[in-house]
């Protein structure tokens, strides 16, 4: 039965609606950034009111600088990573802003104490704003240059070599060029100093992610079975042995337990994610524990850290003893459940309260509830990064995104565990909160890579363009016999014997 003209066919009639484009969610990101700006501005006002009992122009200056920095960051994400996760940048903005508030609060307290002594105190908050601007430049550079995270695999071994050199460089330099507060992790240059280990962790994660993707089958191969456990083959233990040796070298020669623990933890997690075999984690922890015991028996600075961890009050008055840890614990105890209030505590009595112990300062003035809320923001940031890593389509992106996200959690565990006396104290900074340029720059680069991976994970997959059919050469083309149509002969018949028929 013929179908009337203009009536849609059955196939067209029951065709489902075309898939809608995934929302970019940049509006959600802007609203959350505005909410972060409101919290940070309110915190600045409270600090200024409680410390100086009046509002000064410094609140306006810090507030405008904060708004300008993250407005540029938002526009950059909107332009170069439009499908990125909408919560990653607001979490970073809130953490960075709260860190700036606390650094400014400690500056005010130290300025008052210095004025009483007739001295001039250093201000860390303006420097932190400058470091944030430089970190924003690095952030923009990563978003623009790294248009596709998969291109990093081309430079994996270069990243690994540069990372190892950057990690080992402070150890081979003289103490006058690399040592600060007993740890040889710095590179002192004219006018400024940097901590190359902060950048090395990102370079080494790129290398390990690419290496594990290309050599995954080797680590999946099981060796001998001992007590029901399939052990890896001896020849496959090379990478984890190298990682353990490098970490012990950092612990011994650079006197930096935090970087060693952070680096080795990242390697183990990436290895576990790539192979899904828990035996690698067990072997790695066993090797690190044995190395730590050997280092404790041989080196006095390791013994001092452990003694401060076990009982900081016993070494309270010793040089390099437990005074800092004890004061941090006193501050946390003073804050209690809800804290003393912003600007009403005494975080300035804790040494290095603006860097290593900024979490103790926040715990004193915001209490357990406020510090727990900050830790939940970190957890949300890491979870969104992990979610992007799971959603991305390529294996390299999954490993790199998982490693970057875990690095945030691991770094937070190392420093918070040291401040609360869960583990021995280390020199790792709190991401985005602590004062310092190297940590801020490296972590903004880390966030830019996470946003790039998140953008690739949420971006709709473009349909593959149909390939044009190649034309056959003339010699191979099929030939077709064409019949001439019969001529109209009329009543007299054909005029030629071959007209109207087929030619011979």
Q: Is residue 6 part of a domain?
A: no
Q: What is the mean pLDDT of residues 326-348?
A: 93
Q: Is residue 432's pLDDT more than 60?
A: yes
Q: What is the mean pLDDT of residues 208-236?
A: 70
Q: What is the pLDDT of residue 491?
A: 54
Q: Is residue 504's pLDDT more than 90?
A: no
Where is mean pLDDT largest: 49-58, 285-294, 330-339?
Answer: 330-339
Helix (H) or strand (E) segment spanning residue 342: none
Q: What is the mean pLDDT of residues 433-454?
A: 94
pLDDT band of residue 95 (cuts 50, 70, 90) is: very high
**Tens-place pLDDT, residues 9-34:** 444 444 444 445 667 889 999 999 99
Q: Is residue 482 part of a domain?
A: no
Q: Is residue 411's pLDDT more than 60?
A: yes
Split into its structural domains, the chain has a count of 1
Where is mean pLDDT largest: 203-212, 233-242, 367-376?
Answer: 367-376
Give dist(CA 337, CA 372) in Å, integer. 10
Q: Is residue 269's pLDDT more than 80?
A: yes
Q: Is residue 330 part of a domain?
A: yes
Q: Is residue 32 part of a domain?
A: yes
The token pair at 295 is: 């280092």
The token pair at 82 is: 């439009």
Q: What is the pLDDT of residue 239?
A: 66
- For 320: left if phi > 0, alpha if psi spans -120 to 50, otherwise beta; the answer is left
The token pair at 491 is: 């009543």
DSSP state of 85: -
**Tens-place pLDDT, residues 280-320:** 788 888 887 887 788 788 778 788 889 999 999 999 988 88
Q: What is the mean pLDDT of residues 71-90?
A: 95
Q: Is residue 206 part of a domain?
A: yes
pLDDT band of residue 188 (cuts 50, 70, 90) is: confident
Share of the chain above pLDDT 90, in %: 46
Q: Is residue 396's pLDDT more than 80?
A: yes
Share of the chain above pLDDT 70, in %: 81
Q: Which domain holds residue 430?
A: 26-458
Q: Is residue 169 part of a domain?
A: yes
Contact 306, 296 (CB under 8 A): yes
Give dist(CA 427, CA 408) in Å, integer. 15
pLDDT band of residue 232 (cuts 50, 70, 90) is: low
Q: Is residue 9 part of a domain?
A: no
Q: What is the mean pLDDT of residues 220-238?
A: 62
Q: Is residue 1 part of a domain?
A: no
Give dist(CA 177, CA 184) in Å, integer. 9
The more confidently predicted of residues 502 and 359 is 359
């Amino acid at each position: 039965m013929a179908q009337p003209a203009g009536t849609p066919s059955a196939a067209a009639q029951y065709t489902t609606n075309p898939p809608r484009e995934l929302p970019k969610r940049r509006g959600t990101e802007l609203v959350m950034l505005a909410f972060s700006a409101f919290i940070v501005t309110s915190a600045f006002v409270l600090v200024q009111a409680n410390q100086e009992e009046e509002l000064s122009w410094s609140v306006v200056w810090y507030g405008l600088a904060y708004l300008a920095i993250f407005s540029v960051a938002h526009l950059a994400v909107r332009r170069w990573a439009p499908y990125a996760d909408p919560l990653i940048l607001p979490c970073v903005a809130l953490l960075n802003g709260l860190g700036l508030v606390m650094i400014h609060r400690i500056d005010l307290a130290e300025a008052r104490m210095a004025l009483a002594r007739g001295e001039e105190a250093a201000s860390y908050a303006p420097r932190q704003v400058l470091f944030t601007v430089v970190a924003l430049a690095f952030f923009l550079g990563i978003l623009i240059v790294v248009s596709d995270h998969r291109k990093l695999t081309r430079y994996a071994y270069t990243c690994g070599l540069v990372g190892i050199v950057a990690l080992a460089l402070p150890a081979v330099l003289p103490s006058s060029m690399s040592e600060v507060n007993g740890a040889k992790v710095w590179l002192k240059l004219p006018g400024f100093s940097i901590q190359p280990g902060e950048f090395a962790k990102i370079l080494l994660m790129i290398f390990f992610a690419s290496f594990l993707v290309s050599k995954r089958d080797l680590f999946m191969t099981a060796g001998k079975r001992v007590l029901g456990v399939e052990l890896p083959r001896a020849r496959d233990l090379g990478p984890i042995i190298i990682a353990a040796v490098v970490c012990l070298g950092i612990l011994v020669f650079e006197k930096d337990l935090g970087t060693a623990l952070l680096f080795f933890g990242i390697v183990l997690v990436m290895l576990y994610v790539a192979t899904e075999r828990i035996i690698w984690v067990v072997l790695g922890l066993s090797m690190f524990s044995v190395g730590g015991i050997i280092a404790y028996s041989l080196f006095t600075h390791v013994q001092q850290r452990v003694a401060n961890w076990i009982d900081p009050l016993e070494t309270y008055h010793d040089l390099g003893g437990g005074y800092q840890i004890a004061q941090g614990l006193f501050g946390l105890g003073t804050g209690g459940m809800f804290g003393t209030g912003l600007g009403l505590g005494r975080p300035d009595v804790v040494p290095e309260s603006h860097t290593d112990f900024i979490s103790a300062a926040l715990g004193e003035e915001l209490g357990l509830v406020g510090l727990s809320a900050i830790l939940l923001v970190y957890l949300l940031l890491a979870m969104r990064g992990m979610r992007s890593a799971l959603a991305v389509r390529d294996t390299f992106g999954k490993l790199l995104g998982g490693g970057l996200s875990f690095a945030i959690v691991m770094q937070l565990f190392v420093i918070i565990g040291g401040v609360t006396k869960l583990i021995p104290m280390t020199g790792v900074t709190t991401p985005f909160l602590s004062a310092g340029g190297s940590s801020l720059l490296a972590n903004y680069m880390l966030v830019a890579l996470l946003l790039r991976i998140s953008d690739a994970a949420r971006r709709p997959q473009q349909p593959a363009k149909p390939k044009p059919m190649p034309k056959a050469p003339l010699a191979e083309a099929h030939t077709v016999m064409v019949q001439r149509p019969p001529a109209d002969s009329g009543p007299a018949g054909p005029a030629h014997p071959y007209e109207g028929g087929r030619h011979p």
